[in-house]
Chains A and B, each alone.
Chain A
Amino acid sequence: MNDASVWSIFLNSALINNFVLAYFLGICPFLGVSAKLDTAVRMGGAASFVMLVASVCAYLINILLEAVGAPYLRIISYILVISSTVQLVEMLMKKLSPPTFRALGIFLPLITTNCAILGLALFQTNRGYDFIQCLVYALGAGAGFALALVLMAGVREKLDLANVPELVKGTAAALIVAGILSMGFMGFAGLGR
């Protein structure tokens, strides 16, 4: 069991150990979808949503696996259950709330097999969080992911207008920006111990 307070878990997952900038999880969407501010916001929303779903799933699966005594099935069952649940939610959403689906829909399948999602599930298991802590952790991670994506998109929109050497354009420039952002996030390390 882990007795960290809810607030410190949230701060920790959103800022101090930001999933993208400190754990390097979800780098692919971070580099791929951060060119436009609008898409970045929607991607962040979709990711937060999938993280919540994944967190609940992983919590339940873990209880089940512990009961059956088969922890070696953890990786395979996490990824299968999480991706099928997200697919199910996606279908429900399409039926019940078409506007939300249009806003988040196309991103959902992209995120499902993302390392940030599986990473979240594995970290919460390793740290032995209880149900509420899991939810808060997922919320924080989602908020942190969205924050990193939006910040990055803001910088990259400006970067498009700047005069950068041909060689640096694209991924290399994005990585340098990410490095500097990550340095900025290191400043949060002093928050809440």
Chain B
Amino acid sequence: MAIKPVTPTDEFVKGLWRDNPVFVQVLGMCPALAVSNTAINALAMGLATTFVLVMAGLSVSLLRHFIPREARIVSYICIIATFVTCVDYAIMAISIELHRALGAFIALIVVNCLILGRSEAFASKHHPGRAILDALGMGAGFTGALFFIGIVREILGSGTLFGVGLFPDGFQAWTIMVLPSGGFLAMAVWLLLVNWLKKREAEAAGRAEEVAS
């Protein structure tokens, strides 16, 4: 796999930027768009997903020698579904309002391709410590991405942040940003920004190589 040895920090950091699940790998788009209409919903969704990601990563990694190859996907789905059920009931117990706002999307964490993807591609091949770090990094990257989309949509769409009004009375909220199409547009703009930054990064790296050679 990697040519140079990967340090534990790298395992964590790669999820934040280089392999950011939402902006770079474009995984887990459904929840990223559906529940990012306010910053707080986005944050809750991100944390719930991170929890499932970490627990599933840990379990898959611990069980990796016992799960037969042919039945691995089914086993992973069972593991993930178990933790999602836990999260679903936990959120219902903590705040029924939040549960109502997120609706069926908590249950839909099961089919978030990010979790199955990380279980299959990473946790099933590495020991538990690494798997947890990777899951934490990916979770943080996912939460961050959701949060940024959520901030933009909440500020523009309802003129508030965490429910606190930001603008004077004359401000006309862009209702479109809270509606579904706003989700697509906000996501597209962030994606463009990330693409642009990546491109600059790559160009800078290319120039550095030229100078060195």
Contact = CB atoms under 8 A, between A and B. Distances in A.
The SS class assigned to the A binding surface is helix
A168 interface: yes
Interface in A136-193: 167-168, 171-172, 175-176, 178-183, 186
A117 to B, nearest CB: 8
B173 interface: no
Interface in A15-52: 21-28, 31
B91 interface: no
Among A23, A24, A183, residue most surrounded by chain B Cβ atoms (within 10 Å): A24
A179 B26 contact: no
B13 interface: no
B181 A179 contact: yes
B181 A183 contact: yes
Contacts of A72: 85, 89
B116 A31 contact: no
Interface stretch (A60-68, A89-97, A119-127): A119-127
Nearest to B103: A126
B84 A75 contact: yes
A76 B85 contact: yes
B195 interface: yes
B30 A26 contact: yes
Contacts of B82: 76
B30 A176 contact: no
A122 B108 contact: yes
Contacts of A183: 176, 181
Interface string A65-97: 000000011111001100100000000000000
A186 B108 contact: no
B108 A168 contact: no
A28 B184 contact: no
Contact of A167 (B34, B77, B104, B199): B199
Contacts of A119: 104, 108
B192 interface: yes
Contacts of B182: 179
A100 interface: no
A80 B192 CA distance: 38
Contacts of A74: 107
Contacts of B62: none
Range of interface residues on chain B? 35 or more
Contacts of A122: 104, 107-108
Among A123, A171, A175, A183, residue most surrounded by chain B Cβ atoms (within 10 Å): A175
A123 B108 CA distance: 11
A118 interface: yes
A74 B145 CA distance: 30
Among A167, A178, A179, A181, residue most surrounded by chain B Cβ atoms (within 10 Å): A179
Contact of B81 (A21, A75, A186): A75
B181 A79 contact: no
A123 B27 CA distance: 23
Given A27-B33, A167-B196, A115 B187 contact: no
Given A80-B74, A179-B185, A186-B179, A24 B192 contact: no
Contacts of A21: 180-181
Interface of A: 21-28, 31, 72-76, 79-80, 83, 113-115, 117-119, 122-123, 126, 167-168, 171-172, 175-176, 178-183, 186
21 contacts: A24-B33, A25-B30, A26-B30, A28-B30, A31-B29, A72-B89, A75-B81, A75-B88, A79-B77, A80-B81, A115-B111, A122-B108, A167-B192, A171-B26, A171-B191, A175-B188, A175-B191, A176-B185, A178-B184, A179-B183, A179-B184
